[in-house]
Amino acid sequence: MRWLLLGLILAGNATADLLNAAGMRRHGEVREFNPRAVGRLVATVLRNRFVLGGIAAMTVSFFSLLALLSITDLSFAIPATAATYLVETALARLILKERIERMRWIGAAFVAAGVALLML
């Protein structure tokens, strides 16, 4: 069960981050942070289907994390979720067409190696 929950967390986090990034790119740069501008931003973002999908995916991930924490140690659950760094870096390259520098790939690989060591 813990591997299923971990898979839901990884999929939920990766999906949420991709959808939120795509949604905010469509929205454009946020330049103002005064109360009125923040109110307009919230109203606009809540009509953005990508951001709403991201929020839904985050919800799945969050409740999966709660379920995972109810059956396993925190010292396993939280580090294991760091595998999303490598997954999201790859998906950013493939789906969002981001240019990923070599050092960023190396950093993501180190995180993945650390996660693999924790799984032993």
Q: Which two tokens stand for residue 51?
A: 């951001």
Task: Evaluate whether 83 touches 10 at the Cβ level (below 8 Å).
Answer: yes
Q: pLDDT tens for residues 60-116?
A: 999 999 999 999 999 888 888 888 888 899 999 999 999 999 999 999 889 888 888
Q: What is the DSSP letter of 63?
A: H
Burial class (CB in 10 A: 0-12, 13-18, 19+), 120: exposed
Q: Which stretch of 16-20, 22-26, 28-32, 80-84 has the lowest confidence by average pLDDT? A: 28-32
What's the confidence (pLDDT) of residue 97?
92
Query: In this predicted model, which residue has the larger pLDDT, 27 or 51?
Result: 51
pTM score of the predicted model: 0.81
Could you tell me the residue range of the domain that residue 75 belongs to? 2-119
Q: pLDDT tens for residues 34-44?
A: 888 888 888 88
Alpha carbons 17 and 50: distance in angstroms, whole number: 10
The structural domain count of the chain equals 1
Q: Which two tokens stand for residue 91?
A: 């998906």
